[in-house]
């Protein structure tokens, strides 16, 4: 195994990863709340988790990747307020919560697959793990970490000395600034629901020692992560928004039950912004992968866009930026296709190049640096074609950009059938050129450019190519 360094949100520094049971690395990723389509911000979180997994695997580790599906208990606000998101989804579409969960879970995995996100080793649904959650709440009550009040069972944050450490929260200040309207029965405003008692008409409820009800969102992740990864988990991932509430609460629950620190390394991806601001359904800018496809972008253009920024930096989504990523990916696909059709004998790749790539990605997922090396290989041609192709193919184990497919001509400009309309314009232009009607030939070239095509005039006649990483349907 090669050494991997990762940034730990808990200790606020880069650390050498030391798994509890090498070569296995246990990774838990907070999964989607399946009440609606994931937006591209959510998808950035899963591209990040997938990249982490790929880096660990190429470093020689065996990754046991567990991801949950939240299909109950996540309320409209991450703190315990508002309606359950699943119920809101069910009401919106006049379906049952189960139908909603099934539909959006399927959509999520279809989108994930289109982004070359590998399916986690274990995918676990919250509603199928209620007994484990009840057991955990019971243990917390027995050990004095929780208390029961009118509407449910709550975690008592004052009993957990480390509460607030992940996010650097100051509990005292929080108490002083507590908003009016918090449940007056709670002992501390930061106390959070482990189990909620449900009204008889509530659509999702289970029997429990505290009456019928449903679990809190945070206990779901504690219970499922420990069920599948034990009480010493190497890495836990999620988006940065989860740091102050969801993950702070998970730490309190899991560590209180285990009696020691459960998660060793916490890793968080920064946010994807839209036009510099928040992405939100209500703002009309929460784009889904299908929105990108409808605008003609290949899903992998979005993956390239994500990899081109470090996961710990905010990334601003604009159509122009996505377009630039799509063009770059198209050029890359084109380049590997050209390399594959070149039959000169190869040699061995220079060790420094290989080393530099490995070091970049094993240094807290330095993907932008890794991509720069990819371009060095493509542009500067430091190695013969077959060697370059072999190198890029191996690097794609980390990148997941479909380079083998592109080399085989199944992705990218060469794979896109050129529409008949474009072909006839190319022919029209050829005829115009033969008649030395340069003005007309240029006008046609201009129109082709506007349509996303370029023509090159070679000895064998004109060659037309598509410019963008477009065409979704594949
Ligand atoms: P949810 O489905 O709301 O539970 O969120 C799924 C994942 O997406 C979580 O890891 C969130 O932290 C993450 N996430 C939500 N919004 C964004 C965003 N704009 N950029 C990056 N990650 C996000
Ligand atoms: Zn979670």
Residue 51 belongs to a domain: yes
Task: Kindly report, residue by residue over 13-39, the tens digit of the pLDDT.
Answer: 999 999 999 999 999 999 999 999 999
- DSSP letter at 414 equals G
Does pLDDT of 470 surpass 60? no
**What pLDDT, on a 0 to 100 scale, did the predictor assign at position 179?**
55
**What pLDDT, on a 0 to 100 scale, did the predictor assign at position 467?**
63
- Domain check: are 127 and 38 in the same one? yes
Structural domain total, the chain: 3
Ligand 1 in contact with 358 (CB < 6 A)? no
- Domain check: are 92 and 237 in the same one? yes
- Domain check: are 206 and 101 in the same one? yes
Averaged pLDDT for residues 171-180: 60
Residue with tokens 């930061």: 190
Confidence of residue 175 (pLDDT cuts 50, 70, 90): low
Does pLDDT of 157 surpass 50? yes
β-pairing verdict for 192-197 and 5-8:
unpaired
**What pLDDT, on a 0 to 100 scale, did the predictor assign at position 246?**
95
| Ligand 1 centroid – CA 266 distance (Å) | 15
**Residue 448's domain spans which residues?**
420-466
Instruction: Supply 170's token pair.
Output: 């100051």
Task: Kindly report, residue by residue over 360-410, the tens digit of the pLDDT.
Answer: 999 999 999 999 999 999 998 778 888 899 999 999 999 999 999 999 888
Does pLDDT of 46 surpass 70? yes
**What pLDDT, on a 0 to 100 scale, did the predictor assign at position 409?**
81
- Domain check: are 330 and 195 in the same one? no
Q: Give the number of the ligand closest to the Cα of residue 238.
A: 1
| Ligand 2 centroid – CA 247 distance (Å) | 7
**What pLDDT, on a 0 to 100 scale, did the predictor assign at position 351?**
86
Confidence of residue 472 (pLDDT cuts 50, 70, 90): very low
Residue 472 belongs to a domain: no
Residue 274 belongs to a domain: no
* Number of residues in the chain: 474
- Domain check: are 52 and 106 in the same one? yes
How large a percentage of the chain has pLDDT more than 90? 74
- Domain check: are 250 and 237 in the same one? yes
- Domain check: are 411 and 424 in the same one? no
Q: Which helix (H) or strand (E) holds 260?
A: none
**What pLDDT, on a 0 to 100 scale, did the predictor assign at position 398?**
98
Where is the domain boundary, 219, 235, 269? Answer: 269
- DSSP letter at 235 equals E
Q: How many CA atoms does the CB half-sphere of 431 hold within 13 Å?
A: 6
Residue 276 belongs to a domain: no
Confidence of residue 474 (pLDDT cuts 50, 70, 90): very low
Residue 133 belongs to a domain: yes
> Mutate which of 27, 37, 45, 48 to test ligand 1's pocket (most atoms within 8 Å of Cβ)?
45
Task: Kindly report, residue by residue over 288-321, the tens digit of the pLDDT.
Answer: 999 998 888 899 999 999 999 999 999 999 999 9
Where is the domain boundary, 240, 269, 298? Answer: 269
- DSSP letter at 246 equals I
Residue 318 belongs to a domain: yes
- Domain check: are 326 and 265 in the same one? no
| Ligand 2 centroid – CA 28 distance (Å) | 9
> Mutate which of 75, 239, 273 to test ligand 1's pocket (most atoms within 8 Å of Cβ)?
239
d(CA 204, CA 130): 11
CATH code for the domain of 176: 3.40.50.620
Confidence of residue 231 (pLDDT cuts 50, 70, 90): very high
CB-neighbour burial class of residue 171 (10 A; exposed 0-12, middle 13-18, buried 19+): middle
Residue 473 belongs to a domain: no
- Domain check: are 411 and 429 in the same one? no
Ligand 1 in contact with 33 (CB < 6 A)? yes
CATH code for the domain of 289: 1.10.730.10
**What pLDDT, on a 0 to 100 scale, did the predictor assign at position 193?**
95
- Domain check: are 438 and 354 in the same one? no
Give the atom of ligand 1 at the shortest distance from the alpha carbon of 237.
Answer: 10
Where is the domain boundary, 248, 269, 290? Answer: 269
Write the DSSP string, 366-409. Answer: -HHHHHHHHHHHHHH--S-HHHHHHHHHHHHHHH-S-HHHHHTT
Task: Kindly report, residue by residue over 433-446, the tens digit of the pLDDT.
Answer: 999 999 999 999 99
Is the distance from CB of 122 to CB of 67 less than 8 angstroms?
yes
Residue with tokens 């989504």: 317
| Cβ-Cβ contacts under 8 Å for 268 (sequence gap 6 or more) | 9, 237, 238, 239, 240, 242, 243, 312
- Domain check: are 305 and 264 in the same one? no
Task: Kindly report, residue by residue over 409-420, the tens digit of the pLDDT.
Answer: 888 766 666 788
Does pLDDT of 159 surpass 60? yes
- Domain check: are 378 and 439 in the same one? no
Residue 474 belongs to a domain: no
d(CA 400, CA 396): 5
**3-class secondary-structure state, position 76:** strand
**What pLDDT, on a 0 to 100 scale, did the predictor assign at position 81?**
77
**What pLDDT, on a 0 to 100 scale, did the predictor assign at position 473?**
32
Give the atom of ligand 1 at the shortest distance from the alpha carbon of 279.
Answer: 19
Prediction pTM value: 0.88
């Amino acid at each position: 195994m090669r050494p991997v360094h990762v940034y730990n949100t808990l200790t606020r520094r880069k650390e050498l990863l030391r798994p509890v049971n090498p070569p296995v690395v246990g990774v838990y990723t907070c999964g989607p709340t399946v009440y609606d389509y994931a937006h591209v911000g959510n998808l950035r979180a899963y591209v990040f988790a997938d990249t982490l997994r790929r880096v660990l695997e190429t470093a020689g580790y065996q990754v046991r990747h567990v991801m949950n599906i939240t299909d109950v208990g996540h309320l409209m606000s991450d703190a315990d307020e508002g309606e359950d998101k699943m119920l809101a989804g069910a009401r919106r579409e006049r379906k049952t919560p189960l139908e909603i969960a099934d539909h959006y879970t399927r959509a999520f995995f279809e989108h994930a697959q289109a982004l070359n996100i590998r399916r986690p080793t274990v995918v676990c649904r919250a509603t199928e793990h209620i007994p484990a959650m009840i057991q955990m709440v019971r243990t917390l009550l027995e050990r004095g970490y929780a208390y029961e009040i009118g509407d449910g069972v709550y975690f008592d944050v004052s009993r957990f000395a480390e509460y607030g450490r992940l996010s650097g929260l100051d509990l005292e200040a929080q108490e002083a600034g507590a908003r009016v309207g918090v449940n007056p029965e709670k002992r501390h405003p930061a106390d959070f629901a482990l189990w909620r008692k449900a009204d008889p008409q509530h659509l999702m409820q289970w029997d429990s020692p505290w009456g019928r009800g449903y679990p809190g969102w945070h206990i779901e992740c504690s219970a499922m992560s420990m069920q599948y990864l034990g009480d010493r988990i190497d890495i836990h991932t999620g988006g940065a928004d989860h740091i102050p509430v969801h993950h702070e609460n998970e730490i309190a629950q899991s560590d209180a039950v285990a009696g020691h620190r459960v998660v060793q390394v916490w890793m968080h991806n920064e946010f994807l912004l839209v036009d510099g601001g928040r992405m939100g359904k209500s703002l009309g800018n929460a784009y889904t992968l299908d929105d990108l496809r409808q605008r003609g972008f290949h899903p992998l253009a979005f993956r390239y866009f994500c990899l081109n920024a470090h996961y710990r930096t905010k990334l601003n989504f604009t159509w122009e930026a996505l377009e630039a990523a799509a063009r770059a990916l198209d050029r890359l696909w084109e380049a590997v296709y050209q390399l594959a059709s070149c039959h000169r004998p190869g040699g061995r790749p220079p060790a420094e190049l290989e080393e530099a790539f490995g070091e970049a990605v094993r240094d807290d997922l330095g993907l932008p640096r890794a991509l720069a090396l990819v371009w060095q290989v493509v542009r500067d041609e430091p190695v013969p074609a077959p060697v370059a192709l072999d190198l890029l193919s191996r690097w794609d184990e980390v990148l997941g950009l479909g380079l083998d497919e592109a080399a085989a001509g199944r992705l990218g400009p060469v794979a896109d059938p050129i529409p008949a309309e474009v072909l006839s314009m190319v022919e029209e232009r050829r005829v115009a050129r033969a008649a030395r009607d340069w003005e007309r030939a240029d006008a046609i070239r201009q129109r082709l450019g506007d349509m996303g095509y370029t023509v090159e005039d070679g000895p064998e006649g004109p060659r037309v190519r598509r410019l963008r990483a477009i065409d979704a349907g594949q």
